[in-house]
Chains A and B, each alone.
Chain A
Amino acid sequence: MGTVAPIQAIAILASLGFLALIVNLVRKRRLAEEYSLLWLLVGIAFVAISVFRGLIEQIARLLGIFYAPSAIFLIAIFFIVWLLLRFSLIVSDLARKNRVLAQEIALLRLEMDERTGVESAGEVEKP
Chain B
Amino acid sequence: MRRGDLLIIVPAYNEEESLPAVLVEIREAVPDAEILVVNDGSTDATSRVARAAGVLVADLPINLGIGGAMQTGYRFARRRGSSVAVQVDADGQHDPREIPKLLAPIREGRASLAVGSRYAAPSGYRSTPLRRVGAALLSWIVSTLTGVAVRDTTSGFRAADRRVIDAYARLYPVDYPEVEALVYLHRQGLRIVEIPVVMRERRGGRSSITARRAIYYMAKVPIASVIGALRGRERP
Contacts and interface: CB of A to CB of B under 8 A. Distances in A.
Contacts of A125: 61
A82 B226 CA distance: 25
B47 interface: yes
Interface string B71-100: 110011001000000000000000000000
B58 interface: yes
Contacts of B61: 102, 105-106, 124-125, 127
A86 interface: no
A102 to B, nearest CB: 5
B206 to A, nearest CB: 22
Interface in B42-74: 47-48, 50-51, 56-62, 64, 68, 71-72
A93 to B, nearest CB: 13
A107 B79 contact: yes
Given A107-B76, A122-B39, A102 B68 contact: yes
B156 interface: no
A114 B34 CA distance: 13
Q: How large is the interface on B (under 10, 10 to 19, 20 to 34, 35 or more residues)?
A: 20 to 34
A107 B75 contact: yes
Given A99-B68, A106-B61, A109-B58, A124 B75 contact: no
Interface in B27-41: 38-39, 41
Contacts of A99: 64, 68, 71, 174
Interface of B: 38-39, 41, 47-48, 50-51, 56-62, 64, 68, 71-72, 75-76, 79, 174
Given A103-B71, A122-B39, A124-B61, 12 more contacts: A103-B75, A105-B61, A106-B60, A106-B61, A107-B75, A107-B79, A110-B57, A114-B56, A119-B51, A124-B41, A124-B59, A127-B62
10 contacts: A99-B64, A103-B68, A103-B75, A105-B60, A106-B38, A106-B72, A107-B79, A122-B47, A124-B41, A124-B47
